[in-house]
Amino acid sequence: MRNWFNRKNIVSLLGIVLLYAVVQGLIVFDIMPPFYKLTLILICIYIILSTSLNLINGITGQFSIGHAGFMAVGAYVSAMVTVIMHGPLLLGLFAGAVVSALAGLIVGLPTLRLKGDYLAIATLGFGEIVRIVFLNMDFVGGAAGFTLPSKITWTWAFLLMVVSVILIKNFVGSTHGRACISIRENEIAAESMGINTTKYKVMAFTIGAFFAGLAGGIYANYMYIIQPGTFSFLKSFDILVMVVLGGLGSISGGIVGAIVYTLISALLAGIPEWRLVITAVFLVVMMIFRPTGIMGTKEFGLSFLRKKDDKNAASKN
Amino acid sequence: MDSITTQVFQQLINGLSLGSIYALIALGYTMVYGIVKLINFAHGDVMMVGAYSGWFAITVLHLSFLPALLFSMISCALLGVLIERIAYKPLRNASRIAALITAIGVSLFLEYGGMLVVTAQVRTYPPVFPDTKFIVGGVYFKYGDIVMLITAVVLMALLHFTVQYTKVGKAMRAVSFDKEAALLMGINTNNIISFTFAIGSALAAAAGVLMGVYFNTIDPLMGIIPGLKAFVAAVLGGIGIIPGAMVGGLMLGLVESIVSGLGASTWRDAVAFLILILVLIIKPSGLFGKNVREKV
Amino acid sequence: MPLLKIENLSKSFGGLKAVSNLNINIEKGELIGLIGPNGAGKTTLFNILTGVYEKTEGKMTFMDRDVSGLKPYQVTQRGMARTFQNIRLFDDLSVIDNVKVAYHQRTAYSTFSALLRLPSYFSGEEEMQRKAMDLLKIFNLDDKAEETAKNLPYGEQRRLEIARALATDPKLLLLDEPAAGMNPQETHDLMNLIRWIREKFNLTILLIEHDMALVMGVCERIYVLDYGMIIAQGAPDEIKRNPKVIEAYLGEEVV
C-alpha cells in the first residue's frame, strides 16, 4: 500500500479535498448563487463525459460520436429506477451505468470492426436510434419528457466525478491502458504483439459507455426533467468538442476542455442567439490554428513532485 | 385497381419524390467524400441555405420556378466554394478528426448564423406550381411531384455526363483516385476541389428548393435530418460512388414511405439509421463499393 | 517433428496466386533465410503464418499444432513473433512502453486490480519495468528508454522492433528485411546481433532479406521464392551456384 501514498497522490488528494470544501462552504453558507452551482455541477457531469469519451476516442483511437446515446440510456434507466420503481439514488445511478455499459457492449461488438469515419457514423446512428426509442416510449413521457426530483447535491456530483476520473486514469495508466494506446498507434502491430485488439476496443468502449451512463444518471437526477431532445447528436458533438478542445488522448486535457467549454457556454448563456455561432467560429478557428487542443497529448501533472520521489528512491539505493 | 395496390403505388410515388431529394443531397456528400475524404457535415445546411435563397428569389424577386432554382444553385455554389476555401482548405493535411470537427463547426455556424439572419420563424414556401393533379389508375400524381422527379433526373443526368465525358469530370475522377499523381499530371487540384464543392452545393441547393416546394415550410434547422439521411443514402450506395448515391437516395426514400405507410412514421428516422448501421456492419463499402484492405 | 511445418500452402488474391504449393520445414534452433525478387510472395508468407491473411489451401503446423485460422494475437501467444518490412512501432509511445506492450500477454494483472491499484498492479508493473529494462540493455537502448519511439534514428527503430518482438517470448522469430536501409557497418552489427539473440533466447529464426551478404553470412539454410513458388533450397553455397536462382536474379548480382 505504500505505493498509494506517494507525495504526488497526497498533494492531489489535498487539492481535491480543498476544492470540495471551499465550494461546499460557499453553498452551505448560501453565498453561491444558484447559477454558479448549476454550472459547477454541470462541469462535474461533463468531466465524466469527456473523460469517458477520451478513453474511446483519444486513448484507444476509435472515433465515436454517439456518446449522448449512452448518456440517454443512463439518464432514463436511472430515472426509471429512482422514480417508477422508487429505488434509492445510488442504485438508480449504478443501474443506469450498467445498462449503458451493456448497450456499449452490444453496439461495440459488431461496429468496432469499422474504421475512422465509418465507425463515427455508425455510432452517430446508434445515438439517434436511442433518442428515437425514448421518444416512442410513452411511459417515460415521450417527447414531453420525464420529470423527477432533484436529488443530486454538489457532494454527490463532485464525489462521483472524482471517483470516475481516478478509475479511468488508473485504467489508462495500466498495462490494459497501454494495450488500448497501442491499438491507437498501430493496430496491426498491436495485434502482432499479442494484444487482442477486439477485446480491448470493446473493453474501452464498454467502460466509456458505463461512465457516460453514470453521467447521464447524475444529469437526470439533478435537472428535474429529461427529454429525448436533450440527448441529440448535438450533445454528442458538445462532448467531442470538449475532448478535442482539451487535447485528444490527454485525460487532464479532457478535464480542462470540459471546464473551459462549460464555462464558455455559461458565459454566453445571456446571449443565447449568439452562443452557438460563437462556439462554431471558435471551433473552426481552433481546428485551423491549434488542432491538438489545449494540452495536446500531454498530461497536466505533478511530475516535478514525482521526480523528487525518484531522487529520494535513488539516493536510498 | 383495388385500393391496396393503389395505396402501394401512391407510397411508391411519394417515396420516389422524397428519395430524389435525398439523392440530390447525397450526390454532394459522395462527391466531396470521394475527392477530399471529408464527411461534409455542413452539406445539409447548404441545402437549407439553398431553400432560403429559392424562397427569397420567388417571394422577393418574384422569379418563377426555374430562374429561382438557378439563382439558388448559383448562390450555393459560391457558398460551397467559400466554405471550402476558408474552413476546409487549411486543414487538408490535418487529421480526419480535425476536419470532421471543422465541418461540424461550419454546420453549426450556418444553422445558428442563419437563425440570426432569417430568425427561427418557420416560413411558408410560396406555391410555385398549379394545384393540378393527374390520376392514373387511381394513383394521384401532383404536378409538383412530376416537376420534382424530372428536375432531379435531369440534374443527375447532367452530373453523370459532366463527370464521365468532360475534361473537368475526368480531372475530378483523377483527383479522387490519387491527388498527388493528378497534381503531377498538371491538374490544378485546388480548382478541381473547388469545382466539386460548387457542383455538390448547387445540387444541394436544388434539393433545398424542391424540399421547400414539397413540404411547404422551411426553417434554419431543416437541413440537419435530411442531411444525415442523405449521408445514410450515400453510405448505402457506397460512399464516393456517384450512381451509388442516386440509387441509395431513392431506396432510402422508398423505405421511409413504406415505414410511414405501415403507420410507424415516428420510427421512420430510426429505421434509416438502423439501415445505416446494418450496411456498415455487413458491407461497409456499400452496395456498389469494392472492399479495400490495408497493405501489411 | 519440425518446429514449423508448412505443407502445400497456397494463397490467392482474386485470381492471382500470391504463393502456391509451398513446402517448408524448419527445425528447432535453425536460422533460415527466405530470399527472392520483389513480389515473390515472401511477406505474404509471413502474413499468412502470423494470421494477418487467411490461407487458401494447405496446412501449417507450429509446435505440433495447427495454426491456420488463428488471429494474429493468438499466433503470437503460441510463440511466433515478427517484425515488419515498413517499421510499425507505436510511434507516440516511449521506447520502454513499446516493449511493455509486448509483455502484456504474458504478464498482465487483472483489469480489476488495475482499476483499484491493488498490490498485484504494483508488482506487475515493477516486473514489466525490470524485464523491459533488461531487454533494452541487451539492445543498447536502455539510455533511450524514455524517448518517444518515433524520434529514434532509423537503425535504432529497427532494433527496437526486434526487441519488442522478443518481449512476446517467441520460439520462432520472423524478421522481415531487418537490414533494409542500414549501412554496411550497421548491417554487420545486425548480423552479430541476430546470431547472438538466437543463442541467448534459444530461438529459431526465419529471415527475409535482400542483403545477400547478410543472408549468406548468417543463414544455415535458404529458401528461394519466385512467383510464389520455391525454386530452390539448400545451404548458402549451393544457392549461390544454383542456375535457377541466378536466372531469377538475372541482372542482380548474387554475392
Predicted-complex ipTM score? 0.91
Let me know the angle formed at the C-alpha of C21 by C15 and C23, rounded to the nearest 5 degrees: 150
C101 touches chain A (CB under 8 A): yes
pLDDT at C38 over 70: yes
Q: How far is CA C35 from CA A57, C38, C206, in A?
A: 41, 9, 11
pLDDT at A299 over 70: yes
What angle do helix axes A154-172 and A7-28 make, rounded to 10 degrees?
A: 160
Residues of chain C with Cβ-Cβ distance to A191 below 8 Å are 52, 71-73
- Evaluate whether residue A317 is within a structural domain: no
What b-and-e string marks burial along B140-168, b requiring 16 or more CB atoms within 10 Å of the CB? ebbebbebbbebbeebbeebeeebeeeee
- pLDDT-based confidence at residue A257 (cuts at 50, 70, 90): very high
Cα–Cα distance measured from residue B202 to residue B192, given in angstroms and rounded to the nearest whole number: 15
Of all residues in chain B, the one with the smallest CA distance to C45 is: B296
Beta pairing, strands C204-208 & C172-176: parallel
| Amino acid C45: pLDDT | 94
pLDDT at A307 over 50: no
Domain boundaries, chain C: 92-154
Question: Domain range spanning residue A226?
Answer: 2-310
- Neighbors of chain A by Cβ distance (3+ pairs < 8 Å): B, C
Cα–Cα distance measured from residue C12 to residue C3, given in angstroms and rounded to the nearest whole number: 26
Integer distance in angstroms from the first to the last C-alpha of chain C?
33
Cα–Cα distance measured from residue B233 to residue B243, given in angstroms and rounded to the nearest whole number: 11
| Amino acid A308: pLDDT | 38
What angle do helix axes A251-267 and A272-289 make, rounded to 10 degrees?
A: 150
Interface of A with C (CB under 8 A): 1, 3-4, 167, 170-171, 174-179, 181-182, 185-186, 188-197, 203, 297
Domain count, chain A: 1
Q: CB–CB of A280 and B95 under 8 A? A: no
- Evaluate whether residue A29 is within a structural domain: yes
Integer distance in angstroms from the first to the last C-alpha of chain B?
60
B&C contacts, CB < 8 Å: 4
Sign of CA dihedral A219, A224, A225, A230: negative
Q: What is the CATH number of the domain that holds A164?
A: 1.10.3470
- Evaluate whether residue A104 is within a structural domain: yes
B101 touches chain A (CB under 8 A): yes
Q: How far is CA A224 from CA A234, A306, B87, B258, C116, in A?
A: 21, 44, 39, 38, 33
Separation in Å, CA of C83 to nearest CA in chain A: 9
For each of the domains in chain B, give its residue range(s) and CATH number, in order of start.
3-282 (1.10.3470)
Cα–Cα distance measured from residue A149 to residue A41, given in angstroms and rounded to the nearest whole number: 16
Q: What SS3 class is residue C229? A: strand
What angle do helix axes A233-246 and A34-54 make, rounded to 10 degrees?
A: 80
Q: How far is CA B193 from CA A285, B26, B190, B196, in A?
A: 21, 17, 5, 5
Q: Global pTM?
A: 0.90
- Evaluate whether residue A315 is within a structural domain: no
| Amino acid A314: pLDDT | 37
Query: How many alpha carbons fall within 13 Å on the CB side of residue B291?
Result: 9
pLDDT at A310 over 70: no
Of all residues in chain C, the one with the smallest CA distance to B293 is: C53
| Amino acid B192: pLDDT | 92
C52 touches chain B (CB under 8 A): yes
Cell numbers 433526373 correspond to: B153
C71 touches chain A (CB under 8 A): yes
Separation in Å, CA of B98 to nearest CA in chain A: 6
| Amino acid A2: pLDDT | 55
Please, what is the average pLDDT of chain A? 89
What angle do helix axes A233-246 and A67-79 make, rounded to 10 degrees?
A: 120
Separation in Å, CA of B293 to nearest CA in chain C: 11
Integer distance in angstroms from the first to the last C-alpha of chain A?
20
Residues of chain C with Cβ-Cβ distance to A188 below 8 Å are 52, 72, 84, 88
- pLDDT-based confidence at residue C230 (cuts at 50, 70, 90): very high
Q: Which residue has the higher pLDDT, B175 or A295?
A: B175
Lowest-pLDDT range of A248-252, C24-28, C239-243, C246-250: C246-250
- Neighbors of chain B by Cβ distance (3+ pairs < 8 Å): A, C
pLDDT by 10s per residue, chain B, length 296: 567 777 788 888 888 888 999 999 999 989 998 888 888 989 999 999 999 999 999 999 999 889 999 999 999 999 999 999 999 998 888 877 788 889 989 999 999 999 999 988 899 998 888 777 787 777 777 887 888 888 888 988 899 889 889 999 899 888 888 888 888 888 888 999 999 999 999 999 999 999 998 888 999 999 998 998 999 899 888 888 888 888 999 999 999 998 988 888 889 889 999 998 998 888 878 888 766 555 55
Q: CB–CB of A189 and C93 under 8 A? A: no
| Amino acid A315: pLDDT | 37
Q: What SS3 class is residue A226? A: strand
The separation between CA B73 and the C-alpha centre of its own chain, rounded to angstroms, equals 12
